[in-house]
Structure 1
Amino acid sequence: MTRIPMISAAFAATLGLAACEPATPDVPGSNIPTGAYVLVGIGSDTVPQRNVGLTIEADGSVSGRAPCNSYSAAQNAEPPGFALGPLVTTKMACSGRAGELESRYFQALSAADGITFQGGVLTIQGPTYLTYEPGQRKD
């Protein structure tokens, strides 16, 4: 009798995790899943706060929220290429460590020229690599 509740719980947990996984886009030739990601690394540094989010839309555009400001941009290249149009951001004041992270993030995102998804890890490549995992940013 205890096996049925355990199996049911495992099945429910699996469904819950599957809902967090990005979806594969309908873009021919692309293996970059659409959906929500959270920044876990910038260059060789980790981002333990998990307070930077990125969403990839079906058309390839990106949006999200950094520590203080929201942002969005069109993506003008076919993966594995990556070329953002102008980065549009809100203009909230952002100082201290949050401001430093946000400035560094926006600079790296704007300069990026490649994107890959492998082993559940999204990497946006450029002079400074940005590493993401599927999920939502923490407030």
Structure 2
Amino acid sequence: MSEIRSELKYLPSHEWARVEEDGTVTIGITDHAQAELGDVVYVEAPEMGSTVNGGEEAGVVESVKAASDIYSPVSGEVVAVNPLLEEAPETVNESPFDDGWFFKVKPSDLGELDGALTADGYKETIEADA
């Protein structure tokens, strides 16, 4: 069974979002998503300073099996991109919630996360897909 952390918000497209103490939102893909993808070989995150829109494509993750779009759960300015993923994209497989995060956003409307799934809602989503 995939790890699902209760403190995070989730998108049905398998991204997670964590609101940090400074108000930024850290975004990555779930343990379920990385397991389905297989060995991650490349991550294309949005550029620093660019603007992303909630629910829209913000990057790409490629594995030996497939390429998948990454969607941002919130709109705002990209304030950090995980530098580790450029040299070691496999970090996403090893630590999807901690070291394998993709990017951070300074949200223009944190309320956008109100529509995201809770841990229980995400669990129901992946069980329904199984």
TM-score range relative to shorter protein: 0.3 to 0.5
Greater relative contact order (Cα 8 A, min sep 6): structure 1 or 2?
2
TM-score of the aligned structures, taking structure 2 as reference length: 0.33
TM-score of the aligned structures, taking structure 1 as reference length: 0.31
Bigger-Rg structure (1/2):
1
